[in-house]
Structure 1
Amino acid sequence: MPWNDKYECMPVKQIQQFQVEKLQETVQWVIKRVPFYKQKFKEAGVKATDIKGIEDVAKLPFTEKNDLRDNYPFGLCAVPLKEVVRIHASSGTTGKPITGPYTADDLAQWTECMVRNFYAAGVRPEHVVQNAYGHGLFTGGLGFHQGATALGCTVVPTSAGLTERQITLMQDFGAQVLCCTPSYALTIAERAEELKVDIKSLPLSIGIFGAEPWTVGMREEIEARMGIKAMEAYGLTELGGPGVGFDCEAQSGIHINEDHYLAEVVDPVTLEPVPLGEKGELIFTSLQRRAMPMIRYRTKDITRLYREKCVCGRTFVKMDKIFGRTDDMLIISGVNVFPSQIESLLLDIEEVTPQYRLVVRKKGYLDQLVVQVEGKPEVYEAGDRKKFEVEAKIMAHIRGHMGISVEANLVDPKFIARSEGKALRVVDERPKQFR
């Protein structure tokens, strides 16, 4: 049962008419209030009145991450700072941080989207929610906090890190719900096993994970090791944080909150829209945000959109789990390689754990991909011969499915740094001129 069936179960034609009206309002809003967009729309020769149907969104110009950096900190803010009640930001590890200002109404809308996320995951007011997302400028911690609070849950704001304490509090407070990144969930599961704590015997039954791409194989690994239902939370700082999309009990795709976000998929090369069901780059336009609306924001995430009748009753468009990111894509021997593809193949190998990283090196004139992965204890106990067998098995499995040759290294236990937030999956050791 949806949290807000007025919108979540609205007939598709009504949703799309609502989106058109909100899109027209948002275009008028940014033209009046944001010089950047006023100029972009003038150059594109587009007016709000040109938007008469959903397909007309393709007439609007794109917004890219560099546009946000170039206008740092508040060049894209559509309201004076006296109307801004909170500011979040990205880490800024690859340049200036991305700022996210919110009006009071923006926070209320974000909270509504997060409540939907929790409710669809099976969370109810009587649940204890352990929130192990980082709190602070990062949108995750406070986004989940306000959603669970609004739903009426008991919230334990542990934030990320101090893994042993996370496990102790999980035992002492009886949390039924865990919120964190999927890679940190695995870190918690692994540490619990080392401490001889049986997580499956605890009240924990639901995990809501996001902030990084994760495969179906990873979801199944988490569910098996923790004895929980692992649910999705999708979002971006640029769009206001988590709550953009979520999966329901069917776990058959991520529902997008279409009354707040207009989603489309384009060919990442031509940037032309592709039909529903075809894979491409995900684009979002925010429909009700007022402090910093995004017009056709290029997420760089690769996925597909589709509509289907869902057992949960929601009519919102669905998207697949993120296949990869255009800026994470590696080209090895002429083949496009996404880290998520390697992850899926590694999870097929029963002798290894989900702890891995990909190292890209230069070998002569060619790029070489080294897959570093930790084996299970019994592999190391069996000696070097077994280790070599598993490495050969990995290389053959990847070559057979992707047609590329990689070097597989079974590294020592705990060689891969454990994540308390987003996992570092790719290390590029090539000289800068070759990247």
Structure 2
Amino acid sequence: MPSTNLTLMWEPQLESMERSELESLQLQRLSETVQRAYHQVPHYRNLFEENAIAPDSIQSIQDIRKLPFTVKDHFRQNYPYGMFAVPMRDIVRIHSSSGTTGKPTVVGYTRRDLDTWSTLIARLLSASNVTADDVIQIAFGYGLFTGGFGLHYGAEKVGASVIPISSGNTQKQLMIMKDYLTTALICTPSYAMFLAEAMEQAGIRREDLRLRTGLFGGEPWTDQMRRQIEERFNIHATDNYGLSEVMGPGVACECLEKKGMHINEDHFYPEIIDPVSGEVLPLGEMGELVLTTLTREALPVIRYRTRDMTRLIPEPCACGRSFLRMEKPSGRSDDMLIIRGVNVFPTQIEEVLCSIEGCEPHYKLVVDRQGSLDVLEVLVEVNEHLFFDEMKKQNALVKRIQQEIRSMVGVSATVRLVEKKTLERFEGKSKRVVDKRIQHPAQG
């Protein structure tokens, strides 16, 4: 598969700038952001004063470490508009998170913010070689979720033809994909797998489609799943990263090298911290990603703890971009399962399952407590041939999965094979973990 080059950059003069020039720009924008946050957002002014921090104390980019963290609860405490730095008359768009626990986080955009956002998405699309000649099918939800609209306007900016189909209605998705000659698909990776499964069931061959690339995000996914998506659709599959509190999609994206996601460092300053101590870790070490917005007008966000676990890659990329890359997040520090003292991320289990022939990329993890011991059960779909095969072969597969999980993750698991299409499918973000320990706390 081809490498990218300068012709596949939306803003080559910025995306490939020298580090010294970039760091100078970051400091200038960081100073402006800190001033705006202190003077326009009471939450930050109070936080700075509580920590005896003056906004003009930021004299170098390293001084960012003096600043306090922002966490999701701060958005909830200031619900709905308390984190905004501009009056409502300057807000032209409002989005919010799903709000699965407590109040949703509400985010706003000025007209300039929307233009910046569209430019970031244009970078993302260009990195995957999407151009004005493409027909893009956006199967992210349109509405308060930032994914659909965020990607939509960036796609229009590059001049592509956009099909705003939103999520759901799988049969219609396939019909439109075939009839409207879709060349680029945008959705979650789990929904892409669902579409591939439905496509095969409907007798649609990959050769019947014009698809050539897919841009997937919204949830962690493994390289094994990427290979399956690429094979089943015959496309390039690239990853992208974003979160509502910071901007939405467009914070970072893969190029066709697929060796990490380039963070748009002229708009977001990244750090990696120890999730327990909060200390900044050396470049290249695994930890929690922290992001500071550098150009956001409506909602400046300082040192936001994303809870996503990753590392930054300093080595140059063959595509020519000079921005640091981040690895695919291995999971979230707050979604991380601790089982018998071992840190376990669902993507580790997924990697094991995707590497074993016969296992489908659909699984469910059930964590419970028996007495004082944590127990992990893995439900995994297998193809029909294996499911109805003789018990000896099924037992051998179960044993292999258990051994691979123990080897990679370091915990023992009970494995249960289930028939294909038994487990729930997801049109949006997948929900593959059930932790019953909340209902069954440790005794004693």
Q: Deviations over 1:153-193 (max 9, x none)?
A: 00011111111111111110111100000000000000001
C-alpha separation in 1, matches of 2:55 and 2:213: 43
- Any conservation in 2 of the 1:254–1:319 contact (CA below 8 Å)? yes
TM-score scaled to structure 2, two decimals?
0.96
Whether 1:182 and 2:189 are equivalent positions in the alignment is yes
What are the residue-to-residue correspondences of 1:115-264 with 2, within 5 Å? 115-264=122-271
Q: Deviations over 1:372-421 (max 9, x none)?
A: 11001210231433322211211111112222110011112222111100
Q: Deviations over 1:5-44 (max 9, x none)?
A: 1210110111111000000001000111100000111122
Aligned to 1:301: 308
Q: Deviations over 1:194-251 (max 9, x none)?
A: 1111124411010000010111111111111111110111000101100000010111
Aligned to 2:118: 111
Q: Deviations over 1:52-82 (max 9, x none)?
A: 2221110100000011111110011111111
Whether 1:22 and 2:29 are equivalent positions in the alignment is yes
Select the residue among 51, 58, 75 that pairs with 1:51: 58
TM-score scaled to structure 1, two decimals?
0.98
C-alpha separation in 1, matches of 2:272 and 2:39: 28
Q: Which residue identity is paired with 2:210? A: P
Aligned to 1:272: 279
Q: Which residue identity is paired with 1:57? A: I
- Any conservation in 1 of the 2:348–2:408 contact (CA below 8 Å)? no
- Any conservation in 1 of the 2:273–2:289 contact (CA below 8 Å)? yes
Q: Which residue identity is paired with 1:250? A: E
Select the residue among 3, 15, 18 that pairs with 1:8: 15
- In structure 2, relative to structure 1, the CA distance for the partners of 1:432 and 1:293 (3 Å cut) is farther
Aligned to 2:108: 101
Whether 1:346 and 2:353 are equivalent positions in the alignment is yes
C-alpha separation in 2, matches of 1:38 and 1:199: 55
Poorly superposed stretches of 4+, deviation over 6 Å: none
Q: Which residue identity is paired with 1:34? A: V
C-alpha separation in 1, matches of 2:80 and 2:20: 38
C-alpha separation in 2, matches of 1:248 and 1:403: 33
Q: Which residue identity is paired with 2:50? A: E
Deviation of the 1:363 alpha carbon:
1.3
What are the residue-to-residue correspondences of 1:268-347 with 2, within 5 Å? 268-347=275-354
Q: Which residue identity is paired with 2:49? A: K
Which range moves more in the overlay, 391-400 or 417-426?
391-400
Q: What's the secondary structure of 1:289's corresponding residue? A: coil
Q: How many residues align?
A: 435
C-alpha separation in 2, matches of 1:431 and 1:83: 44
- Any conservation in 2 of the 1:380–1:386 contact (CA below 8 Å)? no
Q: Deviations over 1:338-358 (max 9, x none)?
A: 111111111111110100111
Q: What's the secondary structure of 1:234's corresponding residue? A: strand
Q: Which residue identity is paired with 1:155? A: V
Q: Which residue identity is paired with 2:362? A: Q
- Any conservation in 1 of the 2:316–2:322 contact (CA below 8 Å)? yes
Q: What runs of 5+ residues in structure 1 fail to find an aligned partner?
A: none
Select the residue among 399, 406, 411 that pairs with 2:406: 399
Deviation of the 1:433 alpha carbon:
6.3
- Any conservation in 2 of the 1:114–1:147 contact (CA below 8 Å)? yes
C-alpha separation in 2, matches of 1:284 and 1:390: 42
C-alpha separation in 2, matches of 1:200 and 1:227: 8
- Any conservation in 2 of the 1:233–1:247 contact (CA below 8 Å)? yes
Q: Which residue identity is paired with 2:279? A: E
Aligned to 2:92: 85
- Any conservation in 1 of the 2:217–2:240 contact (CA below 8 Å)? yes
Select the residue among 364, 368, 376 that pairs with 1:361: 368
Deviation of the 1:104 alpha carbon:
0.3
**Alignment RMSD:** 1.2
C-alpha separation in 2, matches of 1:401 and 1:89: 37
What are the residue-to-residue correspondences of 1:366-381 with 2, within 5 Å? 366-381=373-388
Percent identity, aligned pairs only, is 46
Select the residue among 76, 79, 92 that pairs with 1:69: 76
Which range moves more in the overlay, 415-424 or 397-406?
397-406
Q: Which residue identity is paired with 2:97? A: S
Q: What's the secondary structure of 1:422's corresponding residue? A: coil
- Any conservation in 1 of the 2:251–2:268 contact (CA below 8 Å)? yes
- Any conservation in 1 of the 2:152–2:162 contact (CA below 8 Å)? yes
Deviation of the 1:49 alpha carbon:
2.2
Q: Which residue identity is paired with 2:353? A: L
Deviation of the 1:94 alpha carbon:
1.2
Q: Deviations over 1:63-111 (max 9, x none)?
A: 0001111111001111111110010001111111011110000100110
Q: What runs of 5+ residues in structure 2 fail to find an aligned partner?
A: 1-5
C-alpha separation in 2, matches of 1:14 and 1:49: 22
